[in-house]
């Protein structure tokens, strides 16, 4: 029969028989004659008696003083301690608000969970008994014994704040321990709500996760009513909307016995659940996009990717996916050190939100934006044609004998290009000329500052204000920026024509996030309005009453004539019908888009990111989709197939 792990191994007292204890019986006759009398002799001389009386009086005086101190000076303190041991106020954690998608599909909820907690005030004062408790409890729950000892040693013995030792305790173990709790004062099982993320891995970078407060977080937040053992949104929407999701703590006044066990409850105020978030997110679209992205990246041996889909009319985010991802339920349950170490040491960075915080050269995906801007600035007209012979030769401005060659992606050229075919076929030569000019064609180009200005008007290279934490701005370079960035280097700090050429095709120093490119493409799709991207559409209480509604917000508009926006749209449609993404022409929905292939490794120009940004339906856009596959090769071969899967599903299920 196995030993019960909750049987304390304390030995029985040993009885001392009369013979073994006979040394306590002192025989005066055995006194050492050298001392003249027994050490138990009560005979005293007068002066010795006087000293004895003085000593007794001193002891009595000390006793009276101490008693007076306890009764008068420290009365209130010890009374409070005594009452604290008898009556205790317990705080009740509030369930966090739920999260739903645009179709009222529940995506995040709370589930009951058992937690093993330690209450320092209730631990035995006897060190031996306490030590045996720690040994047994640690063994039963699979805890590191030394770690539990450190927690006990680091806590105040007068604290009645519970400290969580283990979350998500198995139900069977919790029940067994509850039946034995009276033998283990200081340790108990609590039933607290625990976050559960449905399909956690597919949504983790959106929702983020919750976790117990750290020491530093508690020090900062205790003045706001957070408890030592409280839950906090750590990332994603959980962190962004913490004040709404959190709810209001409840409390109750209970009577406890000497071991800290509740005997009676006198008053109780139930906790108020947090508010619910209703998202613009389409959960089914999110799942389709995730599955397609995983499948395609595996096919092309890419391991890192991101995709964003938004409603171009409102800015509402329909989907946002990152590859690789992680299961945020691990954090909600109290992630183990081993699992956390695996996540943070993974070279593919599964915790990193590439869609909002990753910045990359966008490549040719910016060409429709530049086309619209050049038309607006009258640098080109609809009728302007530029011959793409595969390269532009630029003489050195100081020594004409030295020349620089800027190649297009098709070395033998694409021929004569207008604005539509230049977008559709992604002519680098055309957009070199639009951005930086070409002297022999008498086209001055927009110049670096105007190119940068329009990119920024589309909200490239700056934060969009999405309702997620840690969004990164990226970079749209200018001559002034370069002179400051490379100050002190006479050559590097100069802005060259080649810098303008590179910026005009989304290369060089240009860095944007997949989210920013999606927002910019949406401005082409909707006729020229840059919309703020947002996940949450409204917040309600647990009864469905509206607390807050978020209206669509325009970040910028009116900076390009709608006629020129329409020309850029037409060029993106020709990308599908006669350009670099013709595999989408057979879809049951009319798509417009732009492929992009951007170099990112100066030591190996063959390594490229694969991009595709698009919208559909062409005549009345309802979805804008951007796909990035890191180091995925050509946009047409790595990113476009993901879009094809999504649009096929969208045409069948959302049209």
- Start-end of CATH 3.90.1310.10 domains in the chain: 88-277
Q: Give the model confidence (pLDDT) of 250-273 as tens digits.
A: 877 777 766 566 667 777 788 899
| Amino acid 81: pLDDT | 47
The helix or strand, by DSSP H or E, that contains position 495, with its residue range, turns out to be none
- Work out the pLDDT band at 115, boundaries 50, 70, 90: confident
> Beta strand pairing status for 99-100 and 276-279?
parallel
Over residues 611-622, the mean pLDDT reads 98
Residue 573: closest CA among 585, 557, 564 = 585
**In which residue ranges of the chain is CATH 3.40.710.10 found?**
286-653
Higher per-residue pLDDT: 553 or 59 = 553
pLDDT at position 619: 96
Q: What pLDDT sits at residue 501? A: 97
Check if the beta carbon of residue 366 is closer than 8 Å to that of residue 390: no
Average pLDDT over residues 287-303: 86
pLDDT score at 262 = 66
CA distance 581 to 584: 6
| Predicted local confidence at residue 53, as pLDDT | 72
**What DSSP letter does each residue of 561-586 carry, written as one string?**
-HHHHHHHHHHHHHHHHHSTTGGGTT
Supply the CATH classification number for the domain 286-653: 3.40.710.10
Per residue in 462-487, pLDDT (tens digit) is 999 999 999 999 999 999 999 999 99
CA–CA distance, 649 with 258 (Å, rounded to integer):
64
| Residue-level pLDDT at 39 | 33
What's the whole-number mean pLDDT along residues 203-222?
Answer: 92
Q: Are strands 276-279 and 536-540 parallel, antiparallel or unpaired?
A: antiparallel
Mean pLDDT value across residues 317-344 = 93
Task: Please indicate whether residue 436 or residue 192 has the higher confidence score (pLDDT).
Answer: 436
Distance between CA 319 and CA 553 in Å, rounded? 19
Q: For the chain, what is the total number of helices (H) and then of strands (E)? A: 23, 23
Per DSSP, helices labelled H in 33-170 are 46-68, 75-86, 127-141, 145-154
Q: What local confidence, expressed as pLDDT, does residue 210 receive?
A: 94
What's the start-to-end Cα distance of the chain, in Å? 66
How far is it, in rounded angstroms, from Cα 49 to Cα 52?
Answer: 5
pTM (predicted TM-score): 0.81
CATH 3.90.1310.10 correct for 88-277: yes
pLDDT of residue 178: 86
Q: Is 144 left (phi over 0), alpha (psi -120 to 50) or beta?
A: beta
In the predicted structure, residue 43 carries a pLDDT above the cut 70:
no
* Range scoring the smallest mean pLDDT among 12-16, 197-201, 429-433: 12-16
pLDDT at 326: 96
Provide, rounded to the nearest whole percent, the portion of the chain with pLDDT above 90: 58
Residue 548: Cβ within 10 Å count:
12
Burial of 543 (0-12, 13-18, 19+ CB in 10 A): exposed
pLDDT band for position 430 (cuts 50, 70, 90) = very high
Residue 73 banded pLDDT, cuts 50, 70, 90:
low
3-class SS of residue 536: strand
Choose the weakest-confidence range: 16-25, 197-206, 486-495, 643-652: 16-25
Distance of alpha carbon 518 from alpha carbon 309, whole angstroms: 7
Residues 6 or more apart whose CB falls under 8 angstroms from that of 366 comprise 455, 460, 505, 506, 510, 517, 520, 596
Residue bearing the bigger pLDDT, 30 or 531: 531
From the CA atom positions of the chain, what is the Rg in Å? 37
| Phi and psi, residue 429, nearest 5° | -60, -40
DSSP string computed for 260-288: S-EEEEEEEEPPBPPPEEEES--HHHHHH
- Is the pLDDT assigned to residue 45 strictly greater than 80? no
pLDDT beyond 60 at 7: no
As a whole number, the mean pLDDT across the chain is 86
Q: What band does 19 get if pLDDT is binned at 50, 70 and 90?
A: very low
Note whether 567 and 419 are within 8 A (CB): yes
Do residues 596 and 611 lie in contact, with contact meaning Cβ atoms separated by under 8 Å? yes
Residue 456 has pLDDT above 50, yes or no: yes
The pLDDT value given to residue 72: 61
pLDDT for position 47:
52
**Residues ≥6 apart with Cβ < 8 Å to 198:** 106, 107, 108, 109
Instruction: Decide if pLDDT at 549 tops 80.
Output: yes
What pLDDT does 71 receive? 59
Higher pLDDT, 262 or 303: 303
Does the pLDDT value for residue 119 go beyond 90?
no
Name the token pair of 379: 């640098």
Check pLDDT > 90 for residue 11: no
Res 48: pLDDT: 59
- Residue 10 has a pLDDT of 37
Q: Please check the confidence at residue 24 and state whether its pLDDT lies above 50.
A: no
Collapse the DSSP code of 361 into the 3-class scheme (helix H, G, I; strand E, B; otherwise coil) and give the result.
coil
Catalytic residue (choose from 138, 204, 325, 364): 364
Model confidence at 186: pLDDT above 90: no
pLDDT attached to residue 439: 85
User: What pLDDT does residue 70 have?
Assistant: 54
Of 531 and 161, more confident: 531
Question: What is residue 20's predicted lDDT score, i.e. its pLDDT?
Answer: 37
Cβ pair 506, 364 in contact under 8 A: yes
How many residues are there in the chain?
655
| CA–CA dist 330, 133 (Å, integer) | 29
Per the CB < 8 A criterion, the answer to whether 628 and 611 are in contact is yes
Per-residue confidence band for 49, with pLDDT thresholds at 50, 70 and 90:
low
Q: What is the pLDDT of residue 40?
A: 35
pLDDT surpassing 80 at residue 16: no
Confidence of residue 36 (pLDDT cuts 50, 70, 90): very low
pLDDT the model gives residue 85: 54
Top pLDDT among 204 and 271 is at 204
For the segment 445-450, the average pLDDT, to the nearest whole number, is: 97
pLDDT exceeds cutoff 50 at 301:
yes
Return the pLDDT at 17. Answer: 39
Q: Which residues contact 430 (CB under 8 A, 6 or more apart)?
A: 386, 388, 417, 422
Active site residue 159: no
Confidence of residue 51 (pLDDT cuts 50, 70, 90): low
Neighbours of 151 (CB within 10 A): 16
Query: Is the CB of residue 189 less than 8 Å from the CB of residue 114?
Result: yes
Predicted confidence (pLDDT) at residue 88 exceeds the cutoff of 90: no
């Amino acid at each position: 029969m196995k030993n019960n792990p909750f049987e304390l191994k304390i030995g029985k007292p040993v009885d001392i028989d009369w013979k073994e204890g006979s040394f306590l019986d002192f025989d005066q006759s055995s006194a050492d004659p050298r001392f003249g009398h027994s050490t138990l002799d009560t005979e005293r001389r007068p002066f010795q008696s006087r000293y004895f009386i003085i000593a007794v009086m001193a002891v009595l005086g000390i006793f009276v003083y101490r008693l007076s101190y306890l009764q008068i000076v420290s009365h209130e303190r010890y009374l409070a301690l005594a009452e604290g041991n008898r009556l205790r106020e317990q705080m009740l954690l509030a369930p966090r608000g739920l999260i739903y998608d645009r179709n009222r599909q529940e995506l995040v909820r709370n589930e009951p969970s058992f937690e093993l907690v330690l209450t320092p005030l209730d631990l035995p004062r006897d060190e031996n008994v306490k030590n045996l408790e720690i040994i047994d409890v640690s063994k039963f729950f699979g805890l590191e014994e030394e770690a539990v000892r450190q927690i006990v040693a680091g806590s105040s013995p007068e604290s009645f704040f519970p400290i969580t030792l283990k979350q998500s305790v198995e139900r069977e173990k919790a029940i067994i321990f509850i039946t034995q709790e009276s033998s283990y004062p200081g340790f108990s099982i609590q039933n607290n709500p625990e976050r559960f993320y449905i399909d956690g891995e597919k949504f983790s970078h959106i929702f983020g996760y919750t976790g117990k407060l750290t020491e530093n977080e508690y020090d900062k937040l205790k003045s706001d009513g957070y408890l030592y053992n409280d839950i906090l949104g750590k990332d994603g929407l959980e962190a962004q909307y913490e004040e709404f999701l959190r709810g209001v703590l409840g409390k109750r006044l209970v009577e406890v016995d000497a071991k800290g066990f509740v005997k009676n409850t006198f008053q109780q105020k139930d906790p108020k659940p947090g508010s619910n978030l209703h998202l613009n997110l389409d959960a089914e679209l999110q799942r389709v996009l995730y599955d397609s992205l995983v499948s395609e990246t595996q096919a092309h041996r890419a391991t890192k990717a991101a995709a964003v889909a938004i409603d171009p009319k409102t800015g509402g985010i329909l989907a946002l996916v990152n590859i690789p991802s992680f299961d945020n339920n691990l954090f909600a349950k109290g992630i183990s050190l081993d699992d956390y170490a695996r996540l943070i040491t993974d070279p593919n960075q599964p915790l990193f939100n590439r869609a909002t915080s990753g910045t990359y050269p966008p490549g040719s995906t910016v060409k429709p934006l530049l086309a619209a801007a050049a038309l607006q600035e009258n640098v080109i007209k609809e009728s302007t044609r530029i011959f793409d012979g595969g390269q532009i030769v630029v003489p050195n401005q100081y020594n004409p004998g030295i020349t620089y060659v800027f190649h297009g992606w098709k070395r033998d050229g694409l021929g004569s290009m207008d604005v539509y075919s230049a977008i559709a076929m992604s002519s680098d030569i055309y957009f070199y000329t639009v951005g930086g000019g070409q002297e022999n064609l008498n086209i001055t180009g927009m110049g670096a500052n105007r190119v940068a200005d329009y990119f920024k008007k589309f909200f490239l290279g700056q934060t969009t204000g999405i309702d997620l934490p840690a969004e990164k701005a990226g970079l749209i370079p200018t001559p002034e920026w370069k002179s400051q960035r490379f100050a002190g280097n006479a050559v590097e700090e100069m802005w060259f024509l080649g810098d303008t050429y590179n910026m005009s095709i989304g290369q060089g120093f240009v860095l944007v996030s997949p989210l920013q490119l999606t927002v910019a493409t949406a401005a082409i799709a909707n006729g020229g309005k840059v919309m703020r991207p947002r996940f949450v559409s409204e917040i309600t209480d647990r009864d469905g009453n509206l607390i807050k509604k978020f209206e669509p917000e325009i970040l910028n508009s009116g900076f390009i004539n709608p006629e020129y926006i329409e020309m850029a749209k037409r060029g993106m449609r020709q990308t599908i019908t006669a350009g670099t993404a013709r595999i989408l022409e057979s879809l049951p929905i009319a798509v417009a888009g732009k492929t992009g292939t951007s170099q990112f490794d100066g030591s190996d120009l063959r390594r490229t990111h694969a991009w595709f940004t698009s919208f559909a339906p062409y005549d009345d856009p309802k979805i804008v989709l951007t796909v990035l596959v890191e180091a995925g090769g050509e946009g047409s071969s790595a990113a476009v197939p993901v879009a094809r899967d999504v649009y096929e599903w969208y045409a069948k299920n959302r049209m």
